[in-house]
Structure 1
């Protein structure tokens, strides 16, 4: 294919370049050739007649009007292979772990999502080892869900723990705007846990080009989709999608687009949706699940506000804990009636009692909490927060459910918990009985 080279660049911005060219396609990859012979890559992001706008992967630094542009006639691609497992790549898909570059089996980045006809109804649980997720807001294969958190919350530590504790076949971590110590923590945690052989990392640090940051989710999801088509259950962890949206805003502003809410582009919803909608349980193949961090000041911020319309619930992190009432997995009812017979009932009972306890906390401010049951509710709340809300405590689902029964028995009588006599007979931790039950469950 003839690759035509153009000169006479019209405009250069921080990460944007404009030039007149014919026969160019949207999302086409281009090569920027410097006067000294060095080369860099760019991608077509807008077309207006013959006027072409390109996004510079390495930023606009050093680009001058005497550079040449060669359009390559293909979209952005990344090499794919099972050999990617255990590797670390930058935001432009280049290896940064000292290993070889993949140049065969190239796949398209940011292609269309899986045909809805080929998607299955989500039906299987993903184990994370986090009680507040596994017990109270169960994660389901092919679900798309964010962690809402304020900046400074330990969400990256939580993602690293989930990456090492999940039962997914392949874990792909996409880091956008990571600090170096956060990047180092991910690598160290994964290596220490022995999960390296099933993990791939695409990392953009805060020092790298913003365009490379924009590419991270697309690279991670393109590779994840290929593994899913091979029959693997793939779990993609993205952090931070608010930072990614901020990069999107910077590029849109550089293009002089008319800004929408708080300066974000008018197509923010579509941009986020096109990434999250990659999540799918694929007929005759595997699955792709997405858990993305969305930092925020409050839920009215444009990024979490739009994200909430796209995803199937959210996990809410506050003061280092995963909140019960701020979190919601809209798909949990599809799986938690098939995990253990008591799962759904104990989940509802624990949540109801915690809600009662929160009412007592409000009443306590007026000195009206003195009765024995109310005081036990307040003690139950403390135990719940200490034993179950800690997102960094690892527990298998069965052990977490057993802990729920232990917590109820510690603070309440059988008739106070609102559970059926059949479940109480089977699971209430009476002396000697509970130990046998746990042994049977693990067998």
Structure 2
């Protein structure tokens, strides 16, 4: 407090526009923090968001409601930082960095700056390790690879938060860093209880901005989460999984701030630097040479299920694929992991690539058979097999509540294929069929073929 008392106080706010205030000051840097003292003694943090000669624009964390033009602005001379130590594991913080879980204060713990440049490419290692999530549609068909940045594309009302939480408590990561933006209380409570009930809360750090919290804190959540994740990966050599939801809410907060600053918007009202702002966060994903890794899995909701919306459209150029969540299922056709070739058959089993291709091929045939059935076309015996396979595939693999280790999921694939098709119909390598195709089903198929030949 003595340090604050020694700082220069600027009085007479020039303007108050929503949560944005303007004051005349010199020697201030972009991104610096300030303390706002209202005439009634209330204090609130603010962040410098624009500089125009000696006119400084600040976003007030607590909002501009009730502020007087006679309020005092005290520039702290530093950018935002966040507490970092082993003590933050199992803790929950708001977008300002303040703990909100009722736990002990951390006044003596060291703090690290928020933001900063992405990692030097020289320090990056080629991705080669898989993060097993026990979600078959991810582990089997679009593997999540360490240091990958990948979004879940969905629409409002889909269970994307349930999927994100499931991945969080099932993934084989050392630390989970969660960043929630614009969450309603029910969603915040769901994530907290999910991590607690599944025994991973002790290795989880949560940064939460609820819908009722200040808008500027929503924009700080990803930076805080990624700063902590990067520190844990570099110094702690941890495999860190960062979960962010919802990046569209983050982009909307940017748009609202831009409108308040009277900036010229670009497509659909979003600012022209949307791509840059998203990329500077996503590019924090990295497999560090001689240290740990940061993997980013985010949620991007698509208003009106429109993939050409500026947020998912820009995200698709930055990230290495996407998971499409439609009608409660991960869509096998719209989903893509561009890094899966680094681990399929290498970090997994030898039959993974063949199984992955065969299962999607047969499911595609099942979808076509369903269309023929819906239009009352005559179905062939093979179409009937495809329809049976399609039902089993949805039930056993596409449901996001299904939880299976990758090896068990591969075995279940072979079992499903044996229940629907003969070995000769699989069009797979014979050595893999001989090794993995269930022997009982194989014997029955051969016996049936022999009987047919004798007849």
Q: TM-score, normalised by structure 2?
A: 0.93
How many residues end up aligned between the 2 structures? 434
> Aligned partners of 1:67, 1:38: CA distance in 2, in Å?
10
Note if contact 1:239-1:293 (Cα within 8 Å) is conserved in structure 2. Answer: yes
> Is the CA contact (8 Å cut-off) linking 2:233 and 2:294 kept in structure 1?
yes
Structure 2 unaligned blocks of 5 or more: 444-455
Task: Provide the secondary structure at the position in 1 that maps to 2:440.
Answer: coil
Is 1:405 the counterpart of 2:414 in the alignment?
Answer: yes
Report if aligned partners of 1:42, 1:57 keep a CA contact under 8 Å in 2.
yes
Q: Name the residue aligned to 1:122.
A: 127
Q: Residues of 2 paired with 1:21 and 1:337: CA distance?
A: 61
Aligned-pair CA distance for 1:432: 9.7
User: Are 2:332 and 1:330 equivalent residues in the alignment?
Assistant: no
Render the CA deviation track for 1:287-312: whole Å, top value 9, x for unaligned. Answer: 00000100112101111011101100
Residue of structure 2 equivalent to 1:271: 277
User: Which sits farther off after the overlay, 139-148 or 32-41?
Assistant: 32-41
Matched ranges for 1:67-146 at <5 A: 67-103=71-107, 104-146=109-151
- Who is 1:441 aligned against? none
Deviation of the 1:433 alpha carbon:
9.9
Question: 8 Å contact 2:363–2:390 — kept in the other structure?
Answer: yes
Separation (CA, whole Å) in 1 of partners of 2:271 and 2:298:
20
Q: CA deviation at 1:158?
A: 1.0
Q: Which deviates further from its counterpart, 251-260 or 36-45?
A: 36-45
Q: C-alpha distance in 2, partners of 1:369/1:428?
A: 31
Residue 51 of structure 1: how far off its partner (Å): 1.4
Deviation at 1:5, TM superposition (A): 2.0
Q: Give the aligned partner of residue 207 of structure 1.
A: 212
State the Cα RMSD in Å. Answer: 1.5
1:369·1:375 contact (CA, 8 Å) conserved in 2? no
Partner of 2:403: 394
Pairing 1:244–2:255 present: no
Structure-to-structure mapping, 1:150-169, within 5 angstroms: 150-169=155-174
Aligned partners of 1:304 and 1:286: how far apart in 2? 29
Alignment of 1:224-243 (within 5 A): 224-229=229-234, 230-243=236-249
Match of 1:383 among 385, 389, 392: 392
Q: Give unmatched runs, 5+ long, in structure 1.
A: 435-443
Aligned to 1:292: 298
**What corresponds to 1:360 in structure 2?**
369
Contact in 2 for aligned 1:321/1:391 (Cα 8 Å): yes
Q: CA deviation at 1:414?
A: 0.5
Q: What is the distance in 2 between the residues matched to 1:211 and 1:341?
A: 49
1:308-355: CA deviation from partner (whole Å, max 9, x where unpaired): 011000000011111100100010011112111111110011111112
Alignment correspondent of 2:152: 147
TM-score by length of 1: 0.95
* 1:169, distance to aligned residue in structure 2 (A): 0.3
Given the alignment, which residue of 31, 37, 42 partners 2:41? 37
Instruction: Find the aligned partners of 1:3 and 1:432 in 2 and give their Cα distance.
Output: 80
Q: After the TM superposition, list the runs of 4 or more consecutive aligned residues in structure 1 that deviate by more than 4 angstroms.
A: none
Distance, in Å, in 1 between the alignment partners of 2:105 and 2:335 is 41
Contact 1:360 1:369 in 2 (8 A): no
State the alpha-carbon separation in 2 of the partners of residues 63 and 143 from structure 1.
44
